[in-house]
C-alpha cells in the first residue's frame, strides 16, 4: 500500500462526504506556520479540519512535531494511518484527534474507524491569524475598522493585532472565508467510490 493509494482513498472519501455541500472546500498540502509546514489535506467549511496521512511505508518520526503545530491551528484533526503504525500513533496523539486505519483490500484501500475526532480544546489565535497573507490580514483589520496606521507594519505585528482584537469565533470565520476564496481552494468530487467503513 503506497502513500498515493492512501491519499486517493482519503480524497475520494472526503469528496463523497462533502459532494453535496456547497460550503465545503478541500485543499491538498495546506501550509501552516507561514507555510513552513504542510498538512496533507484540509477541509474548510463551518470549521477547519486537517487530515494527516501516514501509510505503512512512512515513519512516525515527524508526527510529534506535526501534532504540536497542527494542534494550534485546526478545529478538528484526523490521522489516517497504516495498520503497522496505528497503536504507536494512538499513543503519540491527544484524545481529541480522530484516527482512521488504512488497510489494503485487493486494489483498494479501506478506511476503518478507530477514534472519532473531538473539537480542539486549545487553538492559538495568533497562529490562526498567521494563515493569512499580509494583504488578507490587513483587509480583515480594515473591515473591523482597525487598519488605520497598520498597513505598513510588519506582518507579525498585524497578525498579533488580529489575534488580540478580534473575538476568536470572528477570527476563525474570517480566516475560513478568505481561505475558501483562494484559487487553489477547490470543492472536490470523488473520482471513484470511496471505501470507508463507519
CATH number of 45's domain: 3.40.1350.60
Same structural domain for residues 32 and 117? yes
% the chain with pLDDT above 90: 72
Domain final position from 72, 90, 121: 121
- For 38, phi then psi, to 5°, come to -125, 130
Q: What is the pLDDT of residues 147-167, one digit of tens each?
A: 999 999 999 999 999 999 999
Cα angle vertex 8, ends 51, 123, to 5°? 10
The reported pLDDT for the residue numbered 191 is 43
**Three-state secondary structure of 122-183:** CCCHHHHHCCCCHHHHHHHHHHCCCCCCCCCCCHHHHHHHHHHHCCHHHHHHHHHHHHHHCC
pLDDT (tens digit, 9 = 90+) per residue, 52-104? 999 888 899 999 999 999 999 999 999 999 999 999 999 999 999 999 999 98
Tell whether 22 and 57 lie within a shared domain: yes
**H or E, element range at 65:** helix 63-70
Q: Say if 194 falls within a structural domain.
A: no
Instruction: Report in angstroms the alpha-carbon separations of 69 from 123, 159, 166.
Output: 10, 17, 22
End-to-end distance of the chain based on CA atoms, in angstroms? 21
Residues 102 and 131 in one domain: no
Residues 101 and 18 in one domain: yes
Domain that holds residue 132: 125-179
Q: Which of 121, 146, 169 is the last residue of a domain?
A: 121
In angstroms, the CA 33 to CA 197 distance is: 33
pLDDT for 108: 87
Is the residue at 196 inside a domain? no
Number of domains within the chain:
2
Do 89 and 130 share a domain, yes or no? no
pLDDT score recorded for residue 185: 58
In a shared domain, residues 56 and 84: yes
In degrees rounded to 5, what are phi and psi of residue 164?
-80, -35
**Is the pLDDT score of 14 beyond 80?**
yes
Q: Rounded to whole angstroms, how far apart are CA atoms 119 and 43?
A: 14
Tell whether 24 and 104 lie within a shared domain. Answer: yes
pTM passes above 0.85? yes
Amino acid at each position: 500500500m503506497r502513500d498515493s493509494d492512501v491519499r486517493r482513498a482519503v480524497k475520494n472519501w472526503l469528496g463523497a462526504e462533502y459532494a453535496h455541500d456547497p460550503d465545503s472546500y478541500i485543499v491538498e498540502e495546506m501550509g501552516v506556520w507561514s507555510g513552513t509546514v504542510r498538512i496533507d489535506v484540509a477541509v474548510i467549511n463551518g470549521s477547519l479540519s486537517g487530515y494527516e496521512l501516514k501509510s505503512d511505508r512512512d515513519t512516525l518520526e515527524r508526527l510529534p512535531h506535526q501534532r504540536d503545530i497542527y494542534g494550534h491551528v485546526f478545529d478538528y484533526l484526523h490521522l489516517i494511518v497504516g495498520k503497522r503504525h496505528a497503536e504507536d500513533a494512538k499513543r503519540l496523539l491527544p484524545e481529541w484527534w480522530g484516527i482512521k486505519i488504512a488497510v489494503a483490500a485487493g486494489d483498494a484501500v479501506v478506511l476503518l474507524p478507530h477514534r472519532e475526532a473531538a473539537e480542539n480544546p486549545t487553538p492559538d489565535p495568533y497562529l490562526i491569524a498567521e494563515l493569512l497573507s499580509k494583504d488578507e490580514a490587513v483587509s480583515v483589520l480594515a473591515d473591523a475598522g482597525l487598519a488605520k496606521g497598520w498597513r505598513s507594519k510588519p506582518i507579525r505585528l498585524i497578525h498579533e493585532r488580529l489575534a488580540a482584537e478580534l473575538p476568536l469565533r470572528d477570527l476563525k470565520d474570517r480566516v475560513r472565508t478568505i481561505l475558501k476564496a483562494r484559487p487553489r481552494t477547490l470543492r472536490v468530487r470523488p473520482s471513484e467510490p470511496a471505501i470507508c467503513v463507519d
